Amino acid sequence: MPRRKSEAGLEPNRRAELLRAAARLFVDKGFAATTTRDIAEAVGMRSGSPFYHFRSKQELLKEAMIDGLEAGRERLLAAIAGVADPERRLYVLVRTHLGTLLEADCNSPMLLNETRSLDVAARAEIAAAFDRYQAPWQATLDELAARGRIASAAAPLRLLLFGMLNWSGRWYRPDGPLTVDQLADSAVALLLGRRSPDLSRA
Amino acid sequence: MPRRKSEAGLEPNRRAELLRAAARLFVDKGFAATTTRDIAEAVGMRSGSPFYHFRSKQELLKEAMIDGLEAGRERLLAAIAGVADPERRLYVLVRTHLGTLLEADCNSPMLLNETRSLDVAARAEIAAAFDRYQAPWQATLDELAARGRIASAAAPLRLLLFGMLNWSGRWYRPDGPLTVDQLADSAVALLLGRRSPDLSRA
DNA sequence: CCTACCGATCGGTAGG
DNA sequence: CCTACCGATCGGTAGG
């Protein structure tokens, strides 16, 4: 069921619409299993039309990933602005990240999966965007390590942290027994070595 | 470059060979991006021949996943046999799981990703196999919780744990600075709330 | 397990 | 952004 016909150029940003639809489909079905026809149909276009906006299916993926990471980064920076206490800041980072992953309609971190579908040049762009996304995390972990609240801000800890958060995109169900707030609490408690007994019944 | 011709039935188990090749390719390129021709070629068959052993590409995936989970489970059970202390047993579980994931040539847990490509019946079989895989973990976590060494053995903790372990399949490089032993140490230290200062330089 | 093949689908393009 | 289309590839099958 196609949407209304576009009025010859009056449509402001079909490109952004395509990117959102593509991101959603890539997350749900995977890059290879998603058809450019699926994407076109999702925004009410004909099969060839996405190629008026993007050179290739790969470019659609690359742009969707970079846009998603950049939007996520801006959400992070806005959320931690003025949060001086590093423990509190870690919580805000975790909660905001889980929000992007589990609540926003474009859970971009899950797309990191699909980097393998890109060529070397595009991979480098993704890596750079992900580094920017990681920067506020690294700063906060460094601060926590300096104060002795975590053992180390070195690679293993940061990667284990992203692992436990990102994997939740695979199993978390919004209609399940666990709220995103509770999940964020559990993750932070685990990281900071607290017992968080209030969650033992979740 | 095809292998030698099979001598009419003397070949014992081409089926298992196909499953190993399929698992490897599915992990590396993803299910949808892997061609049944890729799989055939990997074991020196012609394009149509895998369908002599398997009804469909989906069946190949399902069998590869179940075999992988079952093999992983047997490795787990063998490794923890006779390990009475639950903290030590947790370490052995983590280390063995990481071995399956990062060292064995069939890192089956990564295939859990591809469950979405299966129909409902097959998904139920996978879920059952994964439950069997999880059983020894749950028992150990319950024991640790009963002794107060972790806050809770409820869902969030177990899922966060699998998350941080499984995600490592995405970034871990055997030729990198981190050994699998060190990674296992970091993960267990995080879980049990220890500081593990010996890893602060990794 | 191979040969030979089919129908369907897919990414992408020409030309407007 | 649509119409109309192409070449390539893919999962799967018949028949031996």
The answer to whether the Cβ–Cβ distance between B157 and A186 falls below 8 Å is: yes
Q: What is the pLDDT of residues B25-65, one digit of tens each?
A: 999 999 999 999 999 999 999 999 999 999 999 999 999 99
pLDDT at A109: 79
Give a three-class secondary structure readout of A26-94. Answer: HHHHCCCCCCHHHHHHHCCCCCCCHHHHCCCHHHHHHHHHHHHHHHHHHHHHHHHCCCCCHHHHHHHHH
pLDDT at B155: 77
Q: What is the pLDDT of residues A28-70, one digit of tens each?
A: 999 999 999 999 999 999 999 999 999 999 999 999 999 999 9
Q: Is B189 on the interface with A (CB under 8 A)?
A: yes
Q: Is A9 on the interface with B (CB under 8 A)?
A: no
A107 and A100 Cβ atoms separated by less than 8 Å: yes
pLDDT at B11: 55
Q: Which residues contact B57 (CB under 8 A, 6 or more apart)?
A: B31, B36
Q: Which residues contact B62 (CB under 8 A, 6 or more apart)?
A: B118, B122, B125, B126
Q: What is the pLDDT of residues A144-170, one digit of tens each?
A: 999 988 887 777 899 999 999 999 998
- How much is the average pLDDT of B184-193? 93
- pLDDT of B149 > 70? The answer is yes
pLDDT bracket for residue B162 (50, 70, 90):
very high
Query: Which residues on chain A are in Cβ contact (under 8 Å) with B186?
Result: 156-157, 160
pLDDT at B113: 86
C-alpha neighbours within 13 Å on the C-beta side of residue B32: 18
Tokens of B173: 């490089």
- How much is the average pLDDT of A126-143? 96
Q: Which residues contact A113 (CB under 8 A, 6 or more apart)?
A: A30, B113, B170
| Cα–Cα distance for residue pair A35/A118, rounded to 1 Å | 16
Q: Is B197 on the interface with A (CB under 8 A)?
A: yes
Using only C-alpha atoms, chain A has a radius of gyration, in whole angstroms, of 19
Tell me the C-alpha to C-alpha distance, in Å, between residue B8 and each of A175, B12, B47, B112. 55, 10, 18, 36
pLDDT bracket for residue A11 (50, 70, 90):
low
The answer to whether the Cβ–Cβ distance between B33 and A117 falls below 8 Å is: yes
Selected residue with higher pLDDT from A181 and B8: A181
Residue A184 contacts strand D, CB under 7 A = no
A128 and A62 Cβ atoms separated by less than 8 Å: no
- Does the structural domain A62-201 have CATH classification 1.10.10.410? no
A176 and B127 Cβ atoms separated by less than 8 Å: no
Sign of the CA dihedral running B20, A118, A110, A153: positive
Nearest residue of A to residue B179, measured between CA atoms: A156
Q: What is the pLDDT of residues A95-106, one digit of tens each?
A: 999 999 998 776
For residue B51, the surrounding DSSP H or E stretch is helix B50-53
| CA of residue B111 to C1' of nucleotide C9, angstroms | 26
What mean pLDDT, rounded, does chain A reach?
Answer: 89
Sign of the CA dihedral running B150, B151, B152, B156: negative
Distance from CA of residue B173 to its chain's centroid? 16
| A-B contacts (CB, under 8 Å) | 130
Q: What are the extents of the domains in chain A?
A: 62-201
